[in-house]
Amino acid sequence: MRKRRQHSPAVPQTYSTRVRHGALAAGLLVAVAACGNGHKETPATTAPSTTSSAPSTTATSPSTSASASPSTSATTARPTTAQPAASCVDRAYNAMSNSQRVGQLFMTAVSSTGMTTSESRAITAGRVGSVFLKGHTSAGAASVRTVTARVRTLASAVRGVSLGMFISTDQEGGQVQALNGPGFSAIPSAVTQGTWSTSVLQANAATWARQLRGAGVNMNLAPVADTVPPDQVTVNAPIGKLDREYGTNPSTVASHSTAFLRGMKQSGVVPTIKHFPGLGRANGNTDFTAGVKDTVTTTNDSFLQPFRAGIQAGTPFVMVSSAIYTRIDPRNQAAFSTAVIRTLLRGTLGFKGAVISDDLGNATAVADRTPGQRAVDFITASGDVVLTVKPSDISPMTSAVLSRMSSSSAFRSDVSASVHRVLTAKHNAGVLTCS
């Protein structure tokens, strides 16, 4: 996601000498409401498989030192080789009800400072498969670990398999670092990370990932793979103004976003490259502005290089933006565009993993569609995980997905493909296991 400005400890001026202007409001992510219950549970049916392949270490300079090993009780299981991925994924899929399958396609929010009763109920009632730790905290890893431990107990039970949850956060660095305090390094901005060698960056990212795992977090909505041209750094609201770019040319962004990605994977945290096909040349921030456009990016644009590199490096997730790319699909936001997701990302770039949306709840850019339309259109376009920050949207969203499934065989196939991709990502991360 694109985070609004967070009130985290100030990043030392040595991290960047560039003066940035503007401030963005604090990010608001809230627990999602329970799913609608107007749909009958249907027996599981076989569907074609579409699977594809710590102590505080605050630092003001690059460090390759490893943090202490995370507590076993707070971490996610390592990938298993007990059963081939396709077999285990199919077994889990076939044991699920339709509502459980649909629940795997949603990510809801839990406060990073403590899960509320309403947040807990939303997870349970919605059979939600993934959680986002919302909001900034400086309480440290032990506090976060208490929250994530409770979240893990709410995973939807599926007969015959062990199916956990993706628990994610925004831990990019600089102004976009959600989790702070004892046990978490003070991560510099991507601008600073981009000045390091890729080996140093990967080593540091591996350390940051171990800290996340020690707090029970197994997914990071990072790195940013957006490139901001030099002449737009001070005016680009979602990326440039917040020092979120690794550089001002696609080559540097590709090498360094991939190094960050590899460091996360090295320590067992699922990375997510974002915001496809790029927000570095967008004319506004989709959180606050309708009709945000990129009038430059094409299907063979050089600015796609970082995303292509991330895909080749094996990123399990790609986050798609909510801007409109007029030279690719002038009518639809990228999150609802078959041309962007199915044709360009999956077809041309060959991405086989799971696609997650940027916020489809409170973002101004998507307000032209109802919540139900957003969820259905995203999945139809070949999206997989709907991320919404608005609690009241979950019920109409899941209800719309279930309703469309009952009336469209093509959409049922889309849902099946999406669930298989999400379950495959979970199996590869050790979050889904079969004995």
**Residue at 13 is within a domain:** no
pLDDT at position 10 over 90: no
Q: How confident is the model at residue 121 (pLDDT cuts 50, 70, 90)?
A: confident
What average pLDDT score do residues 93-107 get?
Answer: 97
**Residue at 429 is within a domain:** yes
pLDDT digits (tens, 9 = 90+) for 325-377: 999 999 999 999 999 999 999 999 999 999 999 999 889 999 999 999 999 99
**Residue at 301 is within a domain:** yes
Q: What is the pLDDT of residue 82?
A: 52
Contact (Cβ atoms closer than 8 angstroms) between residue 274 and residue 221: yes
> What are the angstrom distances between the C-alpha of 231 and each of 234, 235, 244, 249?
8, 8, 15, 11
d(CA 126, CA 105): 11
pLDDT at position 221 over 60: yes
d(CA 34, CA 187): 35
Indicate the residue type of 17: T
* CATH code, 137: 3.20.20.300
Q: How confident is the model at residue 1 (pLDDT cuts 50, 70, 90)?
A: low
Q: What is the pLDDT of residue 21?
A: 42
pLDDT digits (tens, 9 = 90+) for 33-66: 333 333 333 334 333 343 333 333 333 344 433 3
**Distance of alpha carbon 405 from its chain centroid, rounded?**
25
Q: Got the DSSP string for 254-314?
A: HHHHHHHHHHHHHTT-B-EEEEET-STT-SS-TTT-TT-EESS--TT-GGGHHHHHHHHTT
pLDDT at position 95 over 70: yes
Q: Please give the tally of structural domains in the chain.
A: 1
**Residue at 278 is within a domain:** yes
Q: Is 368 in a helix, a strand, or coil?
A: coil
What average pLDDT score do residues 157-176 get?
Answer: 96
Q: What is the pLDDT of residue 334?
A: 98
Residue owning tokens 């991330």? 310
**Residue at 398 is within a domain:** yes
pLDDT digits (tens, 9 = 90+) for 138-158: 999 999 999 999 999 999 999
With pLDDT > 90 as the criterion, what percentage of the chain qualifies? 72
pLDDT digits (tens, 9 = 90+) for 258-301: 999 999 999 999 999 999 999 999 999 998 889 999 999 999 99
Q: State which residues form the domain around 352.
A: 83-433
Cα pseudo-dihedral 209, 212, 217, 221, rounded to 10: -60
Average pLDDT of the chain, as a whole number: 85
**Residue at 274 is within a domain:** yes
pLDDT digits (tens, 9 = 90+) for 372-411: 999 999 999 999 999 988 777 888 999 999 999 999 999 9
**Residue at 393 is within a domain:** yes
**Residue at 49 is within a domain:** no
